[in-house]
Amino acid sequence: MGRRQRAKFTLDQLKSTIDTPETELDHGNPYELLVAVILSAQCTDARVNKVTPDLFEAFPTVHDLAEADPEEIHPYIASVTFPNNKAKYLAKMGRQVVENFGGEIPQSVSKLQTLTGVGRKTAQVVANVAYDVDALPVDTHVFRVSNRIGLVKEGADTPAKVERQLKRVIPKEDWGVAHHLLILHGRYTCTARSPECGACPVIEVCKYNKRLQRLPDPIDGLDKNKGTYYCKTRDHYFDDPAVHVDRNNVEQVACPRCGSMNVFKTQTGETTKTAKDYRVDG
């Protein structure tokens, strides 16, 4: 199956299982959306949604925000990540919108990116959600899911590369909904740790799951009193492992005696091998 066909299958399946493919950030207008997206950088939407009601009550418009100092904003966002920096971003962003755009949140990605605290991902989210501009922002969930399923080629190791490749295989009119579908799938099913593969509607085409299926089965009856690890190749136990890099450039636990990566944890009997995975900061 080619990437274009895999992308179509993935989106069709996700559309059938995700009822409301839209942002989970609470907002009522483009100003509130922009503020919420800035606050969401390396922070959960749930946490942002807890602070924005009081924040927007204190600063209901971008004009109110423009008149505020970072010190006035900080108490309202103290519980999000990097509140000091984000308070500065919001204060400066508010002034820029008032001074440069007449108090109207700009609609284009390029103009949004001129604002402090607004990178390409944030600009695309706001342009797409607030103004229905065709855009396909790549956050940590979109990056991970796209690589795991195989919607992008091996070596798509930056958000920019993932974005370019996704746009080649997904029709332009579907970019926005694809962004939300992939985010929600990554947030609730294809999670960074312990993905729920058994509940995944695209498991049959997922390259990452195929890698997981190729991992060795657990071994029963290992004696944890003899060591932390067991080398199946040489049939011996040890405590202090070596680390080798496999052909996929993944660090693996290895036997210090023979170098074999056919190693198991004696506590659980599970293999120490891990499949190649894909993560990037949000």
Question: Consecutive sets of 10 residues in the chain, 282 residues long: mean pLDDT of each?
Answer: 95 96 97 98 96 98 98 98 98 98 98 97 97 96 97 94 98 97 97 94 96 95 97 97 92 96 98 87 46
Q: In terms of Cα–Cα distance, which of 128, 124, 163 is closest to 147? A: 163
Q: What is the pTM of this model?
A: 0.87
Whether 190 has a binding-site annotation, put simply, is yes
83-101 vs 30-39: helix crossing angle, rounded to 10: 150
At what angle are helices 30-39 and 120-131 packed, to 10 degrees? 150
Is 139 known to be catalytic? yes
Which residues have CB under 8 Å from 223's CB, separation 6+? 237, 266
Catalytic one of 86, 88, 111, 139: 139
Quickly name the fold that domain 1-215 has.
Answer: Endonuclease III; domain 1 (1.10.340)
pLDDT at 280: 66
Question: Which pairs from 45-51 meet CB under 8 Å and 24+ separation?
Answer: 47/79, 47/80, 47/81, 48/80, 49/24, 49/25, 50/79, 51/76, 51/77, 51/79, 51/80
Which one of the listed residues 121, 132, 207, 224 is annotated catalytic?
Answer: 121
Q: Is 277 a catalytic residue?
A: no
Q: Is 255 annotated as a binding residue?
A: no
User: Phi, psi (5° rounding) for residue 239?
Assistant: -110, -40
Residue 251 phi, psi dihedral angles, 5° rounding: -70, 130
Instruction: Write b or e for each residue in 83-101: b if 16 or more Cβ atoms lie within 10 A of its Cβ, otherwise e.
Output: beebbbbbbbbbbbbbeeb
CATH 1.10.340.30 range(s) for the chain read: 1-215
Residue 206 marked in a binding site: yes
Q: What is the DSSP letter of 234?
A: T
Residue 181 token pair = 């579908």
- Collect contacts of 255-261 with beta carbons under 8 A, ≥24 apart: 255/229, 255/231, 257/231, 258/231, 258/233, 258/234, 260/231, 260/232, 260/233, 260/234
